[in-house]
Amino acid sequence: MWPIDPDDFVSAVHPPATPAQGEAWYFLVMRNQIGCVVERGVPRPVAADEFRWLDVEERARHYLGRYRGHDCYALDCRGKLPEGYAAVDLRAWLGRVEPPLFYLAGRALQVIEWHNTHQFCGRCGTAMADHGQDRAKVCPECRLVNYPRLSPSIIVLVTRGDEMLLARNANWPTGMYSTLAGFVEPGESIEQTVHREVEEEVGIRVRNLRYLGSQSWPFPNSLMLGFHAEYDSGEIVCQEGEIADARWFRYDELPNVPPATAISRWLIDAFIERLRAGG
């Protein structure tokens, strides 16, 4: 059900002693964009031989792992790309490349952002050093360790019979609806977050939580944990300033919902498949 195949990517912090058979791939992080080759509107990483001829400044390099026979690197770069190359927003990769390649581009962006924002210790101000084994920064003075930031969040489809509760964020275009979501707070379990977020955003209570899967959502650094939950009690009251509208939709009378690349759509499709199968 979840269109992610991790079998063709092996994550690593340091390059293996023996290079991959395929040419190395570089994800050029240029501020908040990914420098890449764009062929017929589809982005791809820059090959090592292509990078040799680019007039850009390389500020940092991090090994990501091996993907389908290619050693992959995240490079922090500055400069101007020539014709045939482009620096594009990460969303330009979403839905245009295979999911593992999109997640690799997102990984590159997050690793470089972490590298650039952890140059100095947040506790004593000393310049940070790379950890010898892990993907981490360590302070040589006070030994503080900083790993790349991840923000766990929940996303949940609330159901009632053959209906699902969908909401529209106050910042979204008119007509676009999706499932409810929110970030985990310190001291909470994931299940507590589901109950709290649903009640905060739409004023109802839920029961029978069922975990379905997760998705890395690098905008900028979320890890989304997906659930189904059944309606228990209460009437819809939208959270002011956050939820513009929320309502119950029958499974075969849906509004405009996210595309198949988003975990919210996976949750919706899973519920519809279950209904049609008589579940």
Beta-bridge mates of residue 67: 9, 70
For 231, other C-beta atoms within 10 Å of its C-beta total: 19
How much is the average pLDDT of 47-66? 96
pLDDT at 172 over 70: yes
**What per-residue confidence (pLDDT) applies to 85?**
96
With contact defined as beta carbons under 8 Å apart, do 213 and 266 qualify?
yes
pLDDT at 42 over 90: yes
When pLDDT is cut at 50, 70 and 90, the band that residue 8 belongs to is: confident
Phi, psi of 67 (to 5 degrees): -125, 115
**What per-residue confidence (pLDDT) applies to 7?**
61
Rounded Cα distance, 234 and 269, in Å: 25
How much is the average pLDDT of 40-65? 96
Please, where in the chain does CATH 3.90.79.10 lie?
A: 151-276
Please, where in the chain does CATH 3.90.79.20 lie?
A: 7-117
- Residue carrying the six token digits 């009437």: 235
Rounded Cα distance, 197 and 61, in Å: 39
Q: Report the top-level CATH class of 151-276.
A: alpha beta
Which one of 3.90.79.20, 3.30.930.10, 3.10.20.30, 3.40.50.850 gives the CATH number of domain 7-117?
3.90.79.20
pLDDT at 2 over 80: no
How much is the average pLDDT of 120-142? 97
How much is the average pLDDT of 63-72? 96
How much is the average pLDDT of 73-99? 95
**What per-residue confidence (pLDDT) applies to 5?**
55
**What per-residue confidence (pLDDT) applies to 6?**
55
To the nearest whole percent, how much of the chain has pLDDT over 90? 91
**What per-residue confidence (pLDDT) applies to 179?**
98
Query: Average pLDDT, whole number, for the chain?
Result: 94
